[in-house]
Structure formats: structure tokens, C-alpha cells
């Protein structure tokens, strides 16, 4: 069948419909149709054509001729269905908004970078990512530099600690040898220079000797030269910082920051205490030698 005959058909059916409407009895026909179905109770429906404010047949004709009932309705424009507000929404911007949501950046919705970021209010998520990557790269490089610097510093600290130990060992040997020589000289040359187990009353009365004078002189020379060398080599800090009191102070300063300002005082005190401890060690060495000789006697 051609379209023309289809058109003719539609025209004929339309004319029949209009003729029926002009006959009247719209309500009766409506109720007849409704009562034919299984559902009941629609017998008292009033047709719109017979209502007081019903449209005229001509108006109805105009209304109905736009979309013929037997024809398929025209396919609506899909874009109209998608668009919520045709005056504002742009499809590109819509995708942009979706991308912004996905990327989760602080970008304002609906604005593109192509529109310009003069005000700085919008940001491209891609640019944000690149910036973050560059920042992290710089941080890594900085961290790498810091790590190497820290590694050098820790190695230098170890070296300083070893150097301080080396000079301590050298001076210890010198002290032991010199004090042993002083002791041996007085032990062999002075009969009264003996430790006695029985008691002082039985010991020989010693002549005034300069044993202790020599001892103190040696101590002053050794201690002053030891600290002079440490100071010259920049090892005095290693000397004091290795002490447990210095470490205790460092720990305490993390909780009580006021403690940190006494660091210099603590370092100086530890240096002086180092000198005193050398004197005590050498004195104990002399006591040890006296005790051994008391066993021999």
C-alpha cells in the first residue's frame, strides 16, 4: 500500500469520527465501551465532549489532527530528554563536571581551564596532579640530599668518636706508664714506700718525699695536654656528647624545651668532670699498685 492510500484512509476515518461526535451521545457510547470490560462501575462517567466547558468539535479537531491516533507518535528529540535546562547546560561542560567529580579535585564544577584561570578560582585536575608529582619529585630529591648529608654526618660522628677513643687510649698508656715509673722509682728507692697490712704504727715513718707532688704534676700536664689536643682536633664535643648525662639532657629537652638552653653548661661541666675522672682513675691505679705490693710484702 502506498502512502497516499494510507493518507486517504486516515482522512476517511477522521471524517467518520467527526461525524459520530457531531451526532452526540458521547457519554452513552463511552459508558457502553467501559461496561464491556470486566471492570464495572464506570457507567456514570460523563464524556468530556458533553461537559459544559468542553472544547468545540472544531477545537477538538484541531487538537486531534496534530497527532493522528492510529499513527505512531513522532519520535521525540532525545536531546530534549537529556537536557534539564537547555539555556544553561553545555554537553562539554557536563562531561567536565562528571570528570571533576571523578577526579575529586577542588575544581569548581562547570568551568573549564580553556575559559581562563585568571581569578585562580578554578584548577585543572590534570595540572594539579602534575604539580603534585613535581612537588613530590622535588621532595624526593631534597630527601635524597638530606639522606646523603645525614649519612655523611653520621659517618663523621663515628669518625670523631673513634678519634676521641684513639687519643684517650694513647693518653691512657702514657699515664699508666708514667705513674708506674713514678711508683716503681719510689718503691725501689724508698724503703718506707710500702703499703702495710698490719697497721700504720708498725710501718716505717716515711721521709718527706715528693711522690704526690710528682703525681699531681704529671696529672696536670697530662690532663691539660689531653684536652688541648681534643680541643685542637674539634673532638671536645664528641667527648661530652657521648656521656650519658648529655644524652639524658637531649632526651629531656624533647619533653621540657627549657632544658636545652643549659646544654653549653652541661657540656662544660662534663669536660671538667672528664678531667677530674682522669685524676681519680690514676689515683686508683696507684692504690691498686699499693694493694698488690702489700700482698707481695
Partner 1 sequence: MLDLNSSSVLTLILVVLIAKTVITSIGKPTLLNKCWNLYSVVASRAGKPQFVELAKKRQELVQINKERKSISAQDQYAKWTKLNRSFDKLSAEVKTLADQVSTEKATVNKVVNGAVTLLTVAPIWFCRVWYRKTVLFHFPSGYFPGVMEWFLALPFTVKGGVGLTVWMFAVNSVLSSIVFLALYLVEPAVQKPDKAASTKSQ
Q: Is 119 in the site for partner 1 (CB under 8 A)?
A: no
Nearer to partner 1, 212 or 262 (CB): 212
Question: For the chain, how far is it from start to end, CA to CA, in angstroms?
Answer: 146
Reference 217, options 189, 186, 175; nearest CA is 175
The rounded distance, in Å, linking the Cα atoms of 222 and 219 is 5
The position carrying cell 650519658 is 244
Q: Does 232 bind partner 1 (CB under 8 A)?
A: no
In the block, residue with C-alpha cell 470486566: 38
Binder among 171, 193, 226, 227 for partner 1 (CB under 8 A): 193
**Does position 20 bind partner 1 by CB under 8 A?**
no
- Answer for which of 44, 86, 208, 232 binds partner 1 (CB under 8 A) is 208
Applying CB under 8 A, among 63, 126, 145, 273 the residue interacting with partner 1 is: 145
CB of 226 to partner 1, least distance (A): 15
* Of the residues 65, 192, 225, 268, which one makes contact with partner 1 according to CB under 8 A: 192
- Cβ proximity to partner 1, 184 vs 262, nearer residue: 184
Residue from 13, 43, 130, 176 in contact with partner 1 (CB under 8 A) = 176
Which residue is listed with cell 704526690?
212
Give the nearest distance from C-beta 263 to partner 1 in angstroms: 25
Least Å distance, CB 151 to partner 1, is 7
Question: Which pairs from 214-221 meet CB under 8 Å and 24+ separation?
Answer: 214/182, 215/179, 215/182, 215/282, 215/283, 215/286, 218/175, 218/178, 218/179, 218/182, 218/282, 219/278, 219/279, 219/282
Contact call for residue 51 and partner 1 (CB under 8 A): no
Q: What is the DSSP letter of 50?
A: G
Alpha carbons 194 and 191: distance in angstroms, whole number: 7
Give yes or no for residue 60 binding partner 1 (CB under 8 A).
no
Work out whether 143 is an interface residue with partner 1 (CB under 8 A). no
Q: In this structure, is the dihedral angle defined by the CA atoms of residues 265, 268, 274 and 277, taken in order, positive or negative?
A: negative
Which one of 92, 115, 131, 152 is in contact with partner 1 (CB under 8 A)? 152
Candidate ranges 25-33, 57-65, 102-110, 285-293; the one touching partner 1 (CB under 8 A): 285-293
Amino acid at each position: 500500500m502506498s502512502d497516499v492510500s494510507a493518507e486517504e484512509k486516515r482522512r476517511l476515518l477522521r471524517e467518520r469520527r467527526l461525524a459520530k461526535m457531531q451526532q452526540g451521545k458521547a457519554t452513552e457510547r463511552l459508558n457502553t465501551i467501559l461496561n464491556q470490560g470486566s471492570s464495572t462501575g464506570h457507567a456514570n462517567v460523563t464524556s468530556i465532549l458533553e461537559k459544559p466547558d468542553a472544547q468545540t468539535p472544531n477545537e477538538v479537531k484541531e487538537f486531534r489532527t496534530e497527532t493522528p491516533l492510529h499513527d505512531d507518535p513522532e519520535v521525540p528529540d532525545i536531546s530534549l530528554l537529556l537536557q534539564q535546562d537547555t539555556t544553561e547546560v553545555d554537553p562539554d561542560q557536563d562531561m567536565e563536571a562528571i570528570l571533576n567529580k571523578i577526579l575529586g579535585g577542588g575544581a569548581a564544577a562547570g568551568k573549564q581551564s580553556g575559559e581562563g584561570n585568571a581569578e585562580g578560582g578554578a584548577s585543572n585536575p590534570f595540572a594539579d596532579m602534575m604539580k603534585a608529582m613535581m612537588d613530590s619529585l622535588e621532595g624526593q630529591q631534597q630527601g635524597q640530599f638530606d639522606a646523603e648529608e645525614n649519612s655523611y654526618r653520621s659517618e663523621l660522628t663515628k669518625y670523631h668518636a673513634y678519634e676521641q677513643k684513639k687519643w684517650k687510649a694513647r693518653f691512657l698508656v702514657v699515664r699508666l706508664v708514667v705513674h708506674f715509673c713514678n711508683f716503681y722509682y719510689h718503691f725501689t728507692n724508698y724503703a718506707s714506700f710500702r703499703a702495710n697490712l698490719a697497721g700504720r704504727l708498725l710501718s716505717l715513718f716515711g721521709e718527706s718525699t715528693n711522690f704526690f707532688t710528682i703525681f699531681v704534676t704529671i696529672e696536670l700536664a697530662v690532663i691539660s695536654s689531653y684536652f688541648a689536643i681534643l680541643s685542637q682536633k674539634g673532638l671536645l664535643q664528641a667527648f661530652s656528647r657521648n656521656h650519658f648525662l648529655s644524652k639524658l639532657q637531649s632526651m629531656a629537652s624533647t619533653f621540657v624545651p627549657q632544658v636545652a638552653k643549659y646544654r653549653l653548661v652541661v657540656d662544660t661541666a662534663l669536660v671538667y668532670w672528664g678531667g677530674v675522672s682522669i685524676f681519680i682513675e690514676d689515683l686508683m691505679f696507684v692504690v691498686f699498685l699499693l694493694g698488690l705490693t702489700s700482698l707481695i710484702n
